[in-house]
Each structure stands twice: as C-alpha cells, then as structure tokens.
Amino acid sequence: MGKKLSVFALVLMLAASLLSACGNAGNGASGGDNSSEGGSASGGSAAEGEIYIPIISKGFQHQFWQAVKSGAEQAGQELGVRITFEGPETESQVDKQIEMMQAALDKKPSAIGFAALDSQASIPLLKKAQENNIPVIAFDSGVESDIPVTTASTDNMAASALAADKMAELIGGEGKIAMVVHDQTSVTGVSRRDGFKKQIEEKYPNIQIVDIQYGGGDHLKSTDLAKAMMQAHPDLKGIFGANEGSAVGVINAVTEMKKEGRIVVIGFDSGKAQIDAIKNGTMAGAITQNPVGIGYETVKAAVAAIKGEKLEPQIDTGFYWYDKNNIDSEEIKAVIYE
C-alpha cells in the first residue's frame, strides 16, 4: 500500500510540473507572435529578439477603436511583429491611460503607438521613452511635443472645416448652430472644434455658433448637453457632434425631443448608430476617418522607426464625407464601420 502511494504521489508531482511548465510557456512573450488585448495594461515584457509594439488608444468603448485595432493587428501579422492593443474604459480617464503608458514602458518594448487623451500630461513619459531609445508613434491625436517620430492621423482641421461647409449648405447659410465636442485636452478635440468654428466664422457671417459643450465622448452626457442646447435655443438649426460618442448623443437628443428633420445633425466618425441615423434621416451626414488605415500605418511606421528609417512628421490617413447618397458606395463602405 505504501509503495502504491509513493508511485501515485510521484505521478501527481510530474503532472503538476508539466502543468506549471505549460502555464509559464503561455504567459511568456513569444517572438513573432501577434496578440491584442484591451481594457487594461497587459502582455508580457518583450522577449529577446522579438519586435514588440504596445498600442495605447484613447479608449475601447467605441467601434472606432475596434476598427483601429483591426488595422494594427493586420499590420502586425503582415510584418511579423507582436502587438498589444489597450485603452482606458472611457475617454475621460487620463490617469488610467498614463498608467498604461508607464506599464508599457516598463516592458521595454521596441516602439510604442500612443493616442494621447491629454497632450500635456503624457509628455514626461514621452521623455522617458526618448531617454530609453524607444520610438513613439502618435496616432489619432498628436501631442504638443516633437518626441513622437511621426503622427498617423486625419487632418482634423480640414475634416471639420468640411463638416462646417456641409452644415452651412444644409441650413441655407444662416441661423443658429451649436457644437458637442468630446474634449478640450486632446489634439482631436481641439482641432475639430477649431476647424469647424474657424470655417463658420470666416466663411459664413450669417451663421452664429451659440454654444460649445464638452461631453467627454460619452453619448449619455452628450445627449443631455444637446437637449439643454435645444431647450435654451428653440430656433437652433443644427448641431455638430465632433466624435462618435458626441454624434450619437446628439442623435438621441434630437430623437427624444422629437425634432427629427427640424435640426440638422452632422457627425464625425462612424458606427452603427450613425449609419442607421443617416439611413432614417435623423442625421444628415458625417465625416468618417479611415480607422483601419490609422491602425495599420501606426504599426508600419513603428517598424520603420525601429529599423532606423526616416519618417515624415505627419502621415495623413485621409477622411471622407458620407451621407444617404453615397453611404452604400464601395469607397465609403471601405472606411465606415459598425
């Protein structure tokens, strides 16, 4: 009986040893492996000889970021590098994003892709990356620093100016309008606000912007803001929502206030709610970026920077106007996302 117990104990020890070995293998970083993770800082430190590029986005809750992630994964697979993709739960969590950036630096990556929620708050960590010879590729939003070797993004000033032209055209060149912007700390928030506002003020003297509010990209908060705007200005003719969450909030507000067809809604970005709103007439149209292209170009630029190749300071990933007239075209279907 004692001999049988000893053999049984030995078998258990061998099994435990094998399971432990398998677990360690799964947790370790493997060269050339491509992975993506969202919501929290994760992914092991870079393994010797592998190219590891953590991508830190501004959020994870919008379909826009899922499309960026898809493009980054595609480039990672094609170029044979390992990426992780993560972002805070909401686009107002600047502290959480800074923690993710710190965690990424601690893993000693080959390069980092970074879309800053706050262009100032991240600068100390960007300096740390520079001191450790880790190239930083800014994407979607730039930062007020020359440390990133390039920025892969839409020309947000030009894109929001086009949105302003469309608004002016659709309200007949005169009247009161308002804006719901996602924030005033990121480059995208500031550029889209200023690009739209500047275009209206310089080209359309008979249009008055009566209110600009910031909803943090949260569609519930943006809904409340847009409803308050309509209550304060019953003669409002249009509202511009400067990102996906802002635009969805405006759509919901117009629907709840039963002002469909009486308020011209123009948005930015894509997503199922905006596509449905354009098709049912609640939203006149929107600017869409090329989020898959943003993710793809970010990883591609990171690999080039790691190899020491010279990069232009800006990679323009393009933008498009879409409405009910072209939403089903092949060109637009390739850049909108649900």
**pLDDT tens across the length of the chain (338 residues):** 334 444 444 333 433 333 333 333 333 333 333 344 444 444 556 666 789 999 999 887 778 888 899 999 999 999 999 999 999 988 889 999 999 999 999 999 999 999 999 888 999 999 999 999 999 999 987 777 889 999 999 999 999 999 999 999 999 999 999 999 999 988 899 999 999 999 999 999 999 999 999 999 999 999 999 999 999 999 999 999 999 999 999 999 999 999 999 999 999 999 899 999 999 999 999 999 998 999 999 999 999 999 999 999 999 999 999 999 999 998 898 888 77
CATH of domain 52-154+291-318: 3.40.50.2300
The helix/strand/coil state of 84 is: strand
Q: What's the predicted TM-score (pTM) here?
A: 0.72
Cβ pair 111, 53 in contact under 8 A: yes
Strand partners, 52: 82
> Can you give the pLDDT at residue 105?
96
> Can you give the pLDDT at residue 27?
31
> Can you give the pLDDT at residue 44?
58
What is the edge-to-edge ordering of all strands in the sheet holding 236-241? 207-214, 175-181, 236-241, 264-268, 285-288, 320-323
Strand partners, 322: 286
Strand partners, 54: 84
**In the numeric block, which tokens belong to residue 111?**
């390069």
Q: How far is CA 107 from CA 77, 121, 307, in A?
A: 21, 21, 19
Where exactly are the structural domains of the chain? Answer: 52-154+291-318, 156-288
> Can you give the pLDDT at residue 37?
43
Same fold, 52-154+291-318 and 156-288: yes
> Can you give the pLDDT at residue 99?
96
What is the edge-to-edge ordering of all strands in the sheet holding 314-316? 82-86, 52-56, 112-114, 136-139, 150-153, 314-316
- Single out the residue of 43, 23, 48 nearest to residue 83, CA to CA: 43
Q: Which CATH architecture has domain 156-288?
A: 3-Layer(aba) Sandwich (3.40)
